[in-house]
Structure 1
Amino acid sequence: MKILILNWRDVKHPRAGGADYRLQHVYAPLTRQGHEVILYSCAFPGCDAEDHIDGIEVHRLGNDVTFAFLCMLKLRSWVKKHQPDVVVEDLNKLPFYSPLVYKGPLVIQMHHLWRKSIFREAFFPVALLVWLSEEMIRLVYRKCRFSVVSESTKRELEQMGVAPECIKTIYNGADLSRYQPIEGEKEPYIIWIGRIQKYKGVLDACEVLERLLPDFPKLKLIIVGDGPYKSRLEEYIERRGLQKKIRLTGFISEEEKISLLQRAAVHLQSSYKEGWGLSVIEANACGCPVVANNTTGLCDSVVDGESGLLYDYCNLDDAANKVKSILSHSELQVRLIENGFRRAAEFSWDRNSREMIEYLEQVIQESV
């Protein structure tokens, strides 16, 4: 099978995020099975126009402003050049409106919808543009086949007018050969992982730490990741005098991330909105108890009271109490670790790739 993919960024892009790494995890294994995967993505300073990443043929062009327009202009010529069996549009930022240009087998891959939450993240003109672009799903994408990462995202699409039978839920996975627990006592720190953006709730994680320090004076917070909200985060840390209590790692290797997860007392996932919450399953696999915001995506990846604890939406007192209960009760900690490890075993990238290729084959057959 030949698969042509449109996505804003590939994994070598300096601002690559979870959606981009997921794409690599899902489609790279397919190339080792004899399938051909061609990815068109946005260029960045110093990049090669053409590349190969773990079997995926990558073509880069344009920039953050022009890439979507170039996709609309050039998709027909790309299809003519490559003759793909199916086209996949990864709709994780602004859409490319591929259904207006391409009428063959098409799958729209979606992680989550912003909806009104975008007004919490971006300035009004940008937020309005994103909101309006999502409204176009009702007109342009409503009859397309979708692949989504959670039941939450599926429900959001159904609310946008997409028929349930047009949506396939394929959960994210984890590399269970690498993400594994280790022996030994947990260290007194909370780990937060993600791109440092406002909607990820990173300042909420800092506030949760402050609520816990009177009872746990040795507790620290390690923030893994980078992003456009980092300067605001650094200002907050300095203003609150938390320099010795909060460590910012920036981007680190996967091996370093795994090591931090294995030794952390708690993984706090404070995002206001997610498609799934990949770090939750990675923490489960590493034997790290999870406390997460009760919001879309995270309510799918966390089985509340079993594989982790959900706190009331954006209620930081409740979040602090949930973390405190884990730190104070070893029996709860052990139960969450054991259940979380079993939960993680249900998800793997191999399974994800297998389900994706089966779905692509189904879409191709339906279009014949």
Structure 2
Amino acid sequence: MRILFIHQNCPGQYKHLVQHLRQDPKNEIVFISKPNGNNVQGIRRIDYQLHRQVNPKTHHYLSSAENGVLHGQAVARVLMKLRDQGWRPDVICAHPGWGEALFVKDVYPDVPLLGFFEFFYRATGADCDFDPEYPNSMDDHFRLRVKNTVNLLSLDACDWGMSPTFWQRSVHPDVYKDRISVVHDGVDTDLLVPRADARIVLPNGVSLTGKDEVVTYVSRNLEPYRGFHIYMKALEEMCRRRPNAHFLVVGGDDVSYGRRLPDGKMYREELMKTVTLDKDRVHFVGRVPYDGFMKILQVSQAHIYLTYPFVLSWSMMEAMSAGCLVIGSATTPVQEVIEDGVNGLLADFFSPSDIADKVDAVFDHPDRMAALRVAARQTIIDRYDLKRICLPAQLGLIDTLIKGGKPAIDLRLGV
């Protein structure tokens, strides 16, 4: 089987799928991407370059569309060379968010194209109008409507789509939903396991185990979309209430989602000016290697995950797989996975005191919380396990498209 993947940050969401497919010598895998340091053995990788950047004079509503066209053109040039060399894939898997899938069907009209539809922007009912602390203007609403240009063109071009969660599928236009299956990327529950003997030693020499009061918070970057501004207020309260607890904060100081602060300011630095913390017990560890991330989860006694109504983070589900007691925000993406009092705890996103109350409940009732930890891991095993649920579903989806069939919407086995 010949499989073509397209993602500007190889391997992106296709990491596990590519690793699995490359193990079969009968598969020929080509991956089109931008240059980065993520090399995957056993595949043919082709990097592309944009022939120019977005014109600074382009209307700011249209800059994302122009950027998408530039990415689409760059990928199309690679595809035309492959086609002219006589190479034809059996299926093409592409993340259309940056415009890379725009012209795929013009080059390979008869090859099934499977799009990874992660999010569709909405002025209301999702992330945009959620947080009154960072309100959006009418200009933002206009800009978001036009920002969906690339998404809409890609939705129309793809033969089928996949979304990781039902909520993420739900934000897409109704006319396209019947062509989007729900299947998660998958969590490696054999790797992310509880470890009673886990121990971490922080750079300052502090050693922590699962017997300590350890509260964790993880985000790729420390920003409002992942509730960092709310967490910092809760952190001040938790420091006061829990004099023996240590608080591990994982994440960088860049911005992945949402707006940046003016003049190059960082959210962490600005928010630190507004709270009083015990610096001996609050540890900002930045971004950490994956092994270190797993150990942090394995010593965590209370893991806080906050998010706008937006793309659900891998880290929350990985924390559940590692046996963490997750205190999640009562927002729609989280509520699809966590049921309050059953496999985790839910807190009001906007209430630092409610978050602190939930942390108190974890430490004040450890016996009662043990069942929630077990249930959390079982939820991931039953619904999002990489090897037994998600990979078979993804492979089945691809096989169905190659054979010209119509996939099911819910591809999670056993649900």
TM-score (norm 2): 0.75
CA contact (8 A) 2:118 2:163 kept: yes
Structure 2 residue matching 1:113: 3-state secondary structure:
coil
Aligned residues: 352
CA contact (8 A) 1:307 1:340 kept: yes
Distance 1:321 1:356, change over 3 A: same
Distance 1:326 1:95, change over 3 A: farther
Matched AA of 2:168: T
Structure 1 residue 77: Cα displacement = 0.8
CA contact (8 A) 1:225 1:251 kept: yes
CA contact (8 A) 1:41 1:60 kept: yes
Which stretches in structure 2 are left out of the alignment for 5+ residues?
55-66, 198-209, 256-264, 407-415
Larger radius of gyration: 2
Q: Distance in 2 between matches of 1:79 and 1:86?
A: 14
Distance 1:56 1:198, change over 3 A: farther
Name which of structure 1's ranges 336-345 and 66-75 shifts more when overlaid on structure 2. 66-75
Asked if residue 234 in structure 1 is aligned to residue 248 in structure 2, the reply is: no
Q: Distance in 2 between matches of 1:5 and 1:223?
A: 34
CA contact (8 A) 1:26 1:349 kept: no
User: Which residue is 1:86 aligned to?
Assistant: 91
Asked if residue 263 in structure 1 is aligned to residue 299 in structure 2, the reply is: yes
User: Which residue is 1:207 aligned to?
Assistant: 233
Matched AA of 2:212: E
CA contact (8 A) 1:43 1:60 kept: yes
Asked if residue 108 in structure 1 is aligned to residue 143 in structure 2, the reply is: no
Distance 1:206 1:154, change over 3 A: same
Matched AA of 1:148: S
CA contact (8 A) 1:291 1:311 kept: yes
User: Which residue is 2:262 aligned to?
Assistant: none
Matched AA of 1:112: F
Matched AA of 1:300: E
Q: Distance in 1 between matches of 2:267 and 2:336?
A: 30
Asked if residue 168 in structure 1 is aligned to residue 173 in structure 2, the reply is: no
Q: Distance in 2 between matches of 1:283 and 1:77?
A: 43
Where do residues 208-227 of structure 1 align in structure 2 (5 Å cutoff)? 208-227=234-253
User: Which residue is 1:194 aligned to?
Assistant: 219
User: Which residue is 1:246 aligned to?
Assistant: 282
Structure 1 residue 206: Cα displacement = 1.7
User: Which residue is 1:60 aligned to?
Assistant: 47
Matched AA of 1:161: V
Structure 2 residue matching 1:175: 3-state secondary structure:
coil
The structure carrying a bigger helix percent of its residues is: 1
Matched AA of 2:271: Y
Matched AA of 2:180: I
CA contact (8 A) 1:28 1:56 kept: no
Distance 1:38 1:313, change over 3 A: same
User: Which residue is 2:411 aligned to?
Assistant: none
Structure 1 residue 172: Cα displacement = 3.2
Structure 2 residue matching 1:162: 3-state secondary structure:
helix
Which stretches in structure 1 are left out of the alignment for 5+ residues?
12-19
Structure 2 residue matching 1:218: 3-state secondary structure:
coil
Structure 1 residue 7: Cα displacement = 1.2
Per-residue Cα deviation, 1:287-344 (whole angstroms, up to 9, x for no partner): 2100111224222232332211122343333322222221221133212111112122
Where do residues 327-346 of structure 1 align in structure 2 (5 Å cutoff)? 327-346=363-382
Match among 371, 396, 400 for residue 358 of structure 1: 396
Matched AA of 2:43: I
Q: Distance in 1 between matches of 2:368 and 2:310?
A: 26
Q: Distance in 2 between matches of 1:367 and 1:98?
A: 23
Q: Distance in 2 between matches of 1:139 and 1:94?
A: 9
Per-residue Cα deviation, 1:222-265 (whole angstroms, up to 9, x for no partner): 12122414832133225524343432222212111111111111
User: Which residue is 1:155 aligned to?
Assistant: 170
> Percent identity at matched positions?
17
Structure 2 residue matching 1:267: 3-state secondary structure:
strand
Structure 1 residue 92: Cα displacement = 4.2
Distance 1:275 1:214, change over 3 A: same
User: Which residue is 1:146 aligned to?
Assistant: 161
Q: Distance in 2 between matches of 1:172 and 1:366?
A: 23
Q: Distance in 2 between matches of 1:301 and 1:294?
A: 11
Per-residue Cα deviation, 1:82-137 (whole angstroms, up to 9, x for no partner): 31111122134566424663533111112233423258789988886554232554
Where do residues 1-12 of structure 1 align in structure 2 (5 Å cutoff)? 1-10=1-10
Matched AA of 1:348: D
TM-score (norm 1): 0.83
